[in-house]
Structure 1
Amino acid sequence: MAHAQVGDTPLTAPVLGPRRSAPAAGPVKPAPASFRAVLRHRSCSRLLAASVAGRLPLGMVPVALLLAAQADGHSLATAGLLAALYGIAPAFGLPLLGRLADLRGLPLPCHLGAGLVAVSLCVLAAAGTSHLAFAAVCVALAGAGCPPLEGGLRSLWPTVLPDAAHVRTAYALDSSTQEIVYVAGPALAIGLAGWLSPAAALALAAAAAVAGSLAFATAAPARAWRPIARPRGDRLGALRPPAVRTLLTALVLVGITVGALDVAGVAAAERHHTAWLAGGLPTVFSAAGLAGGALFARLQPATGPRPRHLLWLAGLFAAAWLPLLAPLPAPAICALAALPGALFVPLLTVASLALTALAPAGTSTEVVGWMSSAIRLGLAAGTALAGPLGGHFALPLLAAALCVLLLSARTTPSSTPAAV
């Protein structure tokens, strides 16, 4: 296992779980893999749909908490603190549940996490947020219990797909569908809260967590998957290689850009007296992410992305924020948000492949938990920093530029494989 980024070695996720029989000798040209080609393979549609459903609370609960707390008479600032607590809590729970999955298999942490989420959210829906300390405990438990569905899914892709080309496309597909969670989730919460109540939105989030986790954990590939043995006494786990820690730090910076974007949208809406811009900016960013992920899956190199591609994507992502610094009318600001949005999913996809390739054996689910934690901490930091800075687009540009500097400092030419 190399402990540094490499210059020209493909970032290929190691195959985990049951292995397929070796193909016949001779050169094999990687088959083109599209999102549709991935979903045609056994269990892939079920695993992906279950994973998205189980992660819907991540998009639903923050909005439902805001509405519930305000309905109970709390100020917007207090409601925002509850939503922020829920946003940060998975950063602590996901790596722990991911490590449990890498030690005991996927069903146990999925069932435990879903049960904790469901009980916490249902208690919160019934009791309300009037008693703030009690509500905060429920919110923290609901966030920390988020099942490790994203990490589990990425551990399963190599076992249900025929080759590395399909696995790389599956990573892009998974990164793209995350945008659905953060677009459909808030819309569901707002719609149900308006139709019934915020408590109903919290109850639906609990049901989605349970249904998605059960459908995922009871699928045949999830039940058959066996973790790879890891060294005894290895406390650092996925964090052991220095390159993993560096890449996670870079992802915190990427998360800051997205966290700052929401505040920048609100600030731009106030400056231009156009309320629609506050929601339009993140919506355009997410929609562009879906399109960028699909395009990346089509155009990625046949042998897979290399570490230098990660640096190039980070550089383009940073450069894409530059046009937003200019004084522009509201429609132009909204349209230009598509530039970094379209690069966000490809950047996450290549970073995921790099982390999986660099992670020590037996830590495939845990390392994705750390990746989610890094991005979530960045989101929280970006939101917290953007307010005092007036919601200026200079913050996401600065964070993206620091990400490029960090990655360029750690990228060294080598012929050593990133993973064996």
Structure 2
Amino acid sequence: MLRHRYCSRLLIASVTGRLSLGMVPVALILAAQADGHSLASASLLAALYGIAPAFGLPMLGRLADLRGLLLPCYLGAALVAAALGSLAVVGTTHLLLAAGCVALAGAGCPPLEGGLRSLWHAVLPDDAHVRTAYTLDSSTQQIVYATGPALAIVIASWLSPTAALALAAAATLAGTLAFATAPPARAWRAVPRRRGRLGVLRPPSMRPLLLSLAFLGATVGALDVAGIAAAQQQDASWLAGALPAAFSAAGLLGGVLFARFQPTTAPWPHHLMLLGVAYAACWFPLLAPLPAPAVLALVLLPGALFVPLLTVASLTVTALAPPGTSTEAVGWLSSAMRLGLAGGTALAGPLSGHFAVPLMAAACCALLLTARTAPAPAANQV
């Protein structure tokens, strides 16, 4: 797939532009603590940054569908660079000012993910290549959230937390410029859309699907807390970082295998139901009292299914989206995942990080996917 013209450039630019999503939360916590704020206040800043794109991405996605990719990409990159640059210069000493910059940086995230998925049909020859591209794109998200925090910690330790924020702003600018100046991005225009207030949310099957994706995101948010709790219970500090890392690594492997062996036909509702039920079932063994190595091994099971499930859900979202709303649709998908991620983290804390939280979230996701009976439209509506 990557041998096709512009594919490598678009994918690498999109990942680079989204690298700040993984870097900024860690850099914010380190910067706020360096400025004398408590861990609770620093975590609130990071949570605000995590939630803000859930409101900005659908709006910038709708603007892309109406006016093309250039305006929302350049506008979003400028907002992110200005907000993170201000934080890097003045710091987080004034908490309210810092919160405003953080919210602006999150809400201004350029619609690179939605733009990339809208472009696949323009640069690839057939639906089989497009399905592979979606799988690869979903897999590379694991790189963003695995590499981003590590890079932020290295830069913060070597230079300073504010330098990590400045690097995140530079990555957003560089990735967005490389993406938006590619000829397919400059030439792309959405097909004409019908008027309507609901837009992407107009199809009845879209709303339960997005809600199921919020529960899917909640499993990942709860897993981070569960890893910390399990590490404390078993006196194995290495488990806190190893657990989400193993989940992400299994996701990469699962995405590669899914891309290699994916079915040639696309009865997406049926695949969604099977993957959702299997994903929920994989959390059950983690409820048993197990030693740390066994917990680490068992988390590979849901991790391996996460990317295939997210890939098929993404394909279904863009297939269900009314004509002319493909970029906005991916914005809503990202919003649902981010809100679920924040909700899973918030719920897992008071419940002591028990693995029952990701299990319940996965079960709710599976129930919603099973309840979807309406078939998805043909993929050429993307």
Is 2:155 the partner of 1:192?
A: yes
Partner of 2:181: 218
Q: What percent of counterpart residues are identical?
A: 73
Greater length-normalized contact order (CA 8 Å, ≥ 6 residues apart):
1
From 17, 21, 44, the counterpart of 2:7: 44
TM-score normalised by length of structure 2: 0.98
Partner of 2:323: 361
Matches within 5 A, 1:232-381: 232=195, 234-381=196-343
Q: Which letter does structure 1 place at the counterpart of 2:201?
A: L
Q: Which letter does structure 2 place at the counterpart of 1:93?
A: G
Q: Contact (CA 8 Å) 2:255, 2:307: kept in 1 or not?
A: yes
User: How many angstroms apart in 2 are the aligned matches of 1:83 and 1:408?
Assistant: 34
**Secondary structure at the residue paired with 1:411?**
coil
User: How many angstroms apart in 1 are the aligned matches of 2:294 and 2:42?
Assistant: 32
**Secondary structure at the residue paired with 1:191?**
helix
| Deviation per residue, 1:273-318 (Å, 9 max, x gap) | 1111110000000000000000001111112353101000000100
User: How many angstroms apart in 2 are the aligned matches of 1:137 and 1:383?
Assistant: 22
Q: Contact (CA 8 Å) 2:69, 2:180: kept in 1 or not?
A: yes
| Deviation per residue, 1:120-159 (Å, 9 max, x gap) | 0010011111100000000000000000000000000001
Alpha-carbon RMSD across the aligned residues, in angstroms, is 1.2
Q: Contact (CA 8 Å) 1:305, 1:350: kept in 2 or not?
A: no
Matches within 5 A, 1:29-108: 38-108=1-71
User: How many angstroms apart in 2 are the aligned matches of 1:353 and 1:360?
Assistant: 13
Between 1:305-314 and 1:316-325, the stretch displaced more is 305-314
Partner of 1:396: 358
Partner of 1:410: 372
Instruction: Pick closer, same or farther for the CA change 1:110–1:416 going to 2, 3 Å.
Output: closer
Matches within 5 A, 1:65-214: 65-214=28-177
User: How many angstroms apart in 1 are the aligned matches of 2:228 and 2:253?
Assistant: 24
Instruction: Pick closer, same or farther for the CA change 1:120–1:288 going to 2, 3 Å.
Output: same
User: How many angstroms apart in 2 are the aligned matches of 1:415 and 1:254?
Assistant: 20
Q: CA deviation at 1:418?
A: 7.6
User: How many angstroms apart in 2 are the aligned matches of 1:238 and 1:75?
Assistant: 40
Partner of 2:192: 229
Q: Which letter does structure 2 place at the counterpart of 1:176?
A: S
Number of aligned residue pairs: 381
Question: Which entry has the higher C-alpha Rg, 1 or 2?
Answer: 1
**Secondary structure at the residue paired with 2:205?**
helix
Q: Contact (CA 8 Å) 1:254, 1:400: kept in 2 or not?
A: yes
The structure with more helix, counted as a fraction of residues: 2
Q: Contact (CA 8 Å) 1:51, 1:213: kept in 2 or not?
A: yes
User: How many angstroms apart in 2 are the aligned matches of 1:406 and 1:174?
Assistant: 24
Unaligned runs of 5+ in 2: none
User: How many angstroms apart in 2 are the aligned matches of 1:208 and 1:290?
Assistant: 23
Partner of 1:12: none
TM-score normalised by length of structure 1: 0.89
